[in-house]
A and B are shown apart, each in its own frame.
Chain A
């Protein structure tokens, strides 16, 4: 069984300004402590996010960074749940290239389906911070379920962006 929940999230643009980060215009990996870190040197991303970066890069999807060039966050590896990641989808990307979201989810879903063959019950968790179109307000969507179901949440992302 899969679940999809929606919660308010911190203002991405406010946190970018507070931490001296860059505002991504495409997809970006969201640090786990993005909402609470005092300085950007404290930021840590999940280890799995590096695989997302590679998947997106290998498939020519637009991927930006919150951190300035030359800076790299720490990585957190939780030996549980087997796979979890947190990505950001900018309002600009949703407007300029809406198909990119479906393509990205399909690519991640295919990779994870292949990785978790033989473990049909294996849950994955993907959190997505969505910037609403035309505003700087963000919502967080959390998907927990099997890898195949991930490809079907694109419509929810668009709905949140338009709310």
Chain B
């Protein structure tokens, strides 16, 4: 098996340097440059992971999966600060949630990342201090079949567990034959990107993040004069527990 000491040192040095830019006061150009460099580093880490997989070295394959998650988390956090400075808080919220999920993914990928607890808590604190309280949505789905992303068998018939890393890849449960059942407002959604974005008010719709009243394109286009509490929200997002990262 390969010795990855040099690769790990290179990764740590590069990430530490970029992490120092993860706050709102840092220069935007430096932050954009860091995001571009992290993207390149992600390709390099993917090559290391592929080598570990080829050698059936699960320890390092999962370690590099965690590295990829850290790259995703740091990129997302840098994007969040940029988007806030660009007066785009809805996008910044999605980036924050991505950063939170990727940080937790890293901690699950390999024991070597358990020290990231403080970063996870920092992101939770950013959510509480920087953003207004959100109203979260939860979709209830009736599912006919669940497929394991690792072995493609029926999920409950195999030995893999959702959210665990296997040779550089998180096990996910792929939902098949899905029917929508209900939507609920919840305090703790599975995915915080699922939320009420705006609600109808006099003169348009009020954005829950900015509190600005914006044009209501749907009602304007259809000439609708709907009354009552009408909201606009996100019900499902393309990321869920089980790991955002797939094998490259």
B residues less than 8 Å from A117 (CB atoms): 104, 107-108, 114, 117, 120
A residues less than 8 Å from B186 (CB atoms): 80-81
Q: Is the interface of B mostly helix, strand, loop or mixed?
A: mixed
Assuming the contacts A50-B156, A115-B241, asked whether A78 and B161 have C-beta atoms less than 8 A apart, the reply is no
B residues less than 8 Å from A54 (CB atoms): 155-156, 158-161
Stretch from B137-145, B196-204, B220-228 at the A interface: B137-145
Q: Is B175 an interface position by the 8 A CB rule? A: yes
Which residue in B121, B136, B156, B175 is a CB contact (below 8 Å) of A77? Answer: B175
The answer for the CA separation of A115 and B162 in the assembled complex, in Å, is 9
For A82, give the chain B residue with the smallest CB separation.
Answer: B190
The answer for the CA separation of A42 and B128 in the assembled complex, in Å, is 42
Number of residue pairs spanning A and B whose beta carbons lie under 8 angstroms apart: 97
Q: Is B163 an interface position by the 8 A CB rule? A: yes
The answer for the CA separation of A57 and B158 in the assembled complex, in Å, is 10
For B236, give the chain A residue with the smallest CB separation.
Answer: A79
Q: Is A58 an interface position by the 8 A CB rule? A: yes
The answer for the CA separation of A121 and B35 in the assembled complex, in Å, is 30
CB distance from A58 to the nearest CB of B (A): 6
* CB–CB B138/A79 < 8 A: yes
Sorted nearest first, the 7 A-B pairs with minimum C-beta distance are A118-B120, A80-B138, A50-B156, A80-B186, A79-B190, A75-B143, A118-B104
A 53-94 to B, binary, CB cutoff 8 A, 1 in contact else 0? 111011000000000000000111111111000000000000
Q: Is B24 an interface position by the 8 A CB rule? A: no
Q: Is B217 an interface position by the 8 A CB rule? A: no
For B116, give the chain A residue with the smallest CB separation.
Answer: A118
7-59 of chain A: CB within 8 A of chain B: 44, 47, 49-51, 53-55, 57-58
CB distance from B225 to the nearest CB of A (A): 32
B residues less than 8 Å from A47 (CB atoms): 143, 146, 173, 175
* CB–CB B161/A82 < 8 A: no
Q: Is B194 an interface position by the 8 A CB rule? A: yes
Assuming the contacts A44-B142, A50-B155, A77-B141, asked whether A115 and B163 have C-beta atoms less than 8 A apart, the reply is yes
A residues less than 8 Å from B158 (CB atoms): 54
Which residue in A80, A114, A115 is a CB contact (below 8 Å) of B190? Answer: A80
B 156-200 to A, binary, CB cutoff 8 A, 1 in contact else 0? 101111110000000001010000010010101111001000000
